[in-house]
Amino acid sequence: MATAKIHFKPYFDEVLAAEALEKALRNKEKLKVLEILVSVNNTQRQMIRTPYKTRYGKDLEEEIKKVFSGDFEDFLVALLQTPTKLDVTELNRAVKGLGTNEKNLIEILTTRTNEEIEATKNTYFMTYGKSLEDAISADTSGDFRRLLIIILQAKREETGFANTFNVGNHAAQILKSFDKKSGIEKFDAFKIFATSNGAHIQKVIEEVERQSGKDFQKIVDKELSGDFKNLILSLIETSSNKPRFLANSIHLATKGIGTRDKDLIRILVARSENDLVLIEHEFQVLFGKPLTQLIKDECKAEYRDGLTMLVKGNSRP
């Protein structure tokens, strides 16, 4: 398994980094810009912003947008966002304009902790002057919207223990909800997937399978539909193996005609200081090739080099 990820760089000088970045930007040295930004972690990238603005009277992010374009620009701009601001930007992109990107809403909200969701809600409000809950409510509907609203409350149980007292009851509620005469809504039966921890969810699934004698995935495929079903399945997968879920998301971003580069950038940058090492391992297991090979196949030039550097990390413990 790979052991590299982006770490805090010792002996870092943000003033020298700002000077080196200005020179590299002036000369349009893409690889030099990459080297500076990927060799440090996100906290240190934020530290470069102030001396850059103080010394040159320019915003570093805006300057990068002026000098570069396309996927390379998008990648550098993502690197300069805090993890929270990156989520805020991507969630807003998912709900603004014509149509909603439900897949991205699901991916981001099912893979973040309660603390990360709370930070995102606060930053979203400060950035756009409205609540994230209102923005998502206006753009979604039905049980899908109701379940997203529950997730946005950031009250998901985060201990590693199943509530064995409630497992049987939760499983029974799910099975009863398939009978229209029971009076139990499917939404009410399934909402526990948005509030329970992974261990509890897995126990409930096992109990449903034991009582019904059927595979849970097949039950869900038959009884649920649309975005609500996709959200439930994502909550289940992230509860058991979040890195595998994200490895699949990377695969989906590159499947078919054309690569969805914004999705690829978001996942790799957002997880580069978190679980990208584990995602890389799961990708290899699922698809039989290294994540770096996928990047080489799908991306070009310095943009490809930047993503590869991110996956390989800035040091090896």
Q: Which of 317, 310, 315, 314 is nearest to 79 (CA)?
A: 310
pLDDT tens sequence across 51-85: 999 999 999 999 999 999 999 999 999 999 999 99
| Predicted pLDDT at 12 | 94
Answer yes or no: do 306 and 254 share one domain. Answer: yes
What's the structural domain count of the chain?
A: 4
Q: Which residues contact 203 (CB under 8 A, 6 or more apart)?
A: 162, 164, 167
- Comparing 5 with 127, the larger pLDDT belongs to 127
Torsion of CA 31, 36, 41, 46, to 10 degrees: -120
- 248 inside domain: yes
Answer yes or no: do 251 and 261 share one domain. Answer: yes
| Predicted pLDDT at 226 | 96
Answer yes or no: do 70 and 100 share one domain. Answer: no
Answer yes or no: do 177 and 226 share one domain. Answer: yes
Tally of CB atoms within 10 A around 265: 25
| Predicted pLDDT at 99 | 76
Instruction: Supply the CATH number for residue 279's domain.
Output: 1.10.220.10
Using the 3D structure, point to which of 80, 104, 123 is the last residue of a domain.
80
| Predicted pLDDT at 1 | 45
- 214 inside domain: yes
pLDDT tens sequence across 2-23: 456 888 999 999 999 999 999 9
- 202 inside domain: yes
Using the 3D structure, point to which of 153, 186, 212 is the last residue of a domain.
153
- Comparing 125 with 9, the larger pLDDT belongs to 125
* Cα–Cα distances in angstroms (integers) from residue 70 to residues 60, 67, 76, 115, 301, in the given order: 17, 11, 10, 32, 12
| Predicted pLDDT at 239 | 93
Answer yes or no: do 222 and 255 share one domain. Answer: no
pLDDT tens sequence across 136-174: 999 999 999 999 999 999 999 998 888 888 999 999 999
Q: Poorest-confidence range of 26-30, 70-74, 156-160, 242-246?
A: 156-160
Answer yes or no: do 112 and 170 share one domain. Answer: no
pLDDT of 316 over the 50 cut: no
Question: Given pLDDT bands bounded at 50, 70 and 90, which one contains residue 285?
Answer: very high
DSSP 206: H
- Provide the whole-model pTM: 0.94
| Side chain identity, residue 146 | R
Average confidence (pLDDT) over 231-247? 96
Helix (H, G, I), strand (E, B) or coil at 272: coil
Question: Given pLDDT bands bounded at 50, 70 and 90, which one contains residue 180?
Answer: confident
Structure tokens at 82: 């805090």
- 76 inside domain: yes
Please tell me the distance from the alpha carbon of residue 201 to that of residue 232, in angstroms, as a whole number: 11
| Predicted pLDDT at 317 | 41
- Comparing 183 with 48, the larger pLDDT belongs to 48
Q: Is the dihedral of CA 174, 179, 183, 186 positive or negative?
A: positive
Using the 3D structure, point to which of 189, 224, 240 is the last residue of a domain.
240
Query: Across all residues in the chain, what is the average pLDDT?
Result: 94
Q: Poorest-confidence range of 19-23, 37-41, 160-164, 284-288?
A: 160-164
Answer yes or no: do 73 and 99 share one domain. Answer: no
- Comparing 98 with 117, the larger pLDDT belongs to 117
Range of the domain at 125: 83-153
Average confidence (pLDDT) over 77-105? 93
